[in-house]
Amino acid sequence: AAAASPGSRGASPARTALAPAARRKGKARRGRGKARSEGLLSKQKRSRRMKANDRERNRMHHLNSALDALRSVLPTFPDDAKLTKIETLRFAHNYIWALTQSL
């Protein structure tokens, strides 16, 4: 009984006859189908980037709206002074804490 070569693991004779480069070449073609043109890829990347930018813009609009709503219910001493985002969150935290302490 002849010993199997390392890496053959009982493969068929036809499979072991292929050179490693030929096996790699076959695997490379099993990807996602046909190779896409560079023009199509750049259009897709641009489209994805624009959609991501829109999502981020909408996320920030919603966040800013929520912070404005929070500012409107917080008691501020100078009414015309607009608190920053972090100041609004810290003030809201401290205000809620103070209200719970007064109960």
Q: Is 25 left (phi over 0), alpha (psi -120 to 50) or beta?
A: alpha
Count: domains in the chain: 1
Residue labelled with tokens 């897709």: 44
pLDDT of 100 reads 96
- The predicted model gives 1-16 an average pLDDT of 52
* Amino acid 54: pLDDT: 98
**Cα 42 from chain centroid?**
19
Q: What would the pLDDT profile of 59-82 be if each residue is shown by its tens digit?
A: 999 999 999 999 999 988 777 788
CATH code, domain carrying 79: 4.10.280
Provide the pLDDT for residue 80.
74
- Decide if pLDDT at 98 tops 60: yes
Cβ distance 88 to 74 under 8 Å?
yes
The answer to the question of residue 82 being in a domain is: yes
18: in domain: no
Q: What is the pLDDT of residues 29-42, one digit of tens each?
A: 555 555 678 888 89
